[in-house]
Amino acid sequence: MRGAEAGVGGRSPARAAVLAGAWGRVRLPLAGTCLLAGVLLLGFPVWSGWWARHVQSVAAAEFRAQIHAQTRDPARRGGAAAALSAPAAGVLPLPGLTPGSPSPSGSGSPPVSRPGSVLAQLRIPSIGVDQFVLRGLTYAPAVWTRLLRDGPGHLAGSALPGQPGNVVIFGHLNIWGSVFYHLDQVRPGDAVVLSDSAGTFTYTVTGRESIAATDLAAVAPRHAGPAVLQLVTCESVFQNDRLVVEARLTGTVPPAPA
């Protein structure tokens, strides 16, 4: 009799009823929470991919308008391009640069574009990348998060396409459009093309390296020496180290006349 009174598993019927009631009260909210978490987990890549495509379509229209305006007025082309390398108001500059200082190219012209506006078109045919690079990227968390959400970002203070020194472009690996998801598949000899109002610049990949996320010196802006391009993303989905693909300038085509 005692065994029967104890109920299943050694619990009394009263205790079992209490436990069953408690589980019944939390089961539905718990199931709803798990369902919502699943929807968010699966939906975020879809939504972030849509957002990235939307921003890039807007950037494409802006880029076409920018090229059209600047090719109609060749006198604006040089000054506008030089000013793009200077930090804009509201963007935290990198060490050694202060807002309002002359751009590294020597032009004292004020910035003509806002942070997040289009700097250039980036194409990597070997991995199917065709994106518009946004200007004004810094290591300030708010700027970093907002700008890379919209596309690849040009590190403020680094060289402009075709100029001596290093053009530094960061992009996400597996979120917000996964711009550089296949960057690890780029091989020496592959072409990387940057186009802006000053022309079309072809870089040829020379190699790649893995660096710590804190190794800012490896991609520090410089404005002397060979014209190189550095493309930077995370080493892998589960690692915070950075993959840096480097390419050298091997071809320049001036813009077509208006």
* Residue numbers of the domain that contains 84: 63-253
Report if residue 82 sits inside a domain: yes
CATH of the domain at 185: 2.40.260.10
pLDDT digits (tens, 9 = 90+) for 9-57: 555 777 666 666 665 666 666 666 666 655 555 554 554 565 566 666 6
Report if residue 9 sits inside a domain: no
Q: What is the pTM of this model?
A: 0.65
The CA-atom distances, in angstroms, between 158 and each of 105, 135, 242 are: 10, 10, 18
In 3D space, the residue among 167, 209, 170 whose CA is nearest the CA of residue 81 turns out to be 167
pLDDT digits (tens, 9 = 90+) for 101-136: 333 333 333 334 677 789 999 999 999 999 999 999
Report if residue 197 sits inside a domain: yes
Whether residue 127 contacts residue 185, with contact meaning beta carbons closer than 8 Å, is answered with yes
Mean local confidence (pLDDT), 148-165: 93
The pLDDT score that the predictor gives to residue 182 is: 92
The count of structural domains within the chain is: 1
Report if residue 25 sits inside a domain: no
Residue 171 has pLDDT above 50, yes or no: yes
Report if residue 38 sits inside a domain: no
- Between β-strands 239-253 and 199-211, what pairing exists: parallel, antiparallel or unpaired? antiparallel
Report if residue 227 sits inside a domain: yes
Report if residue 27 sits inside a domain: no
Report if residue 58 sits inside a domain: no
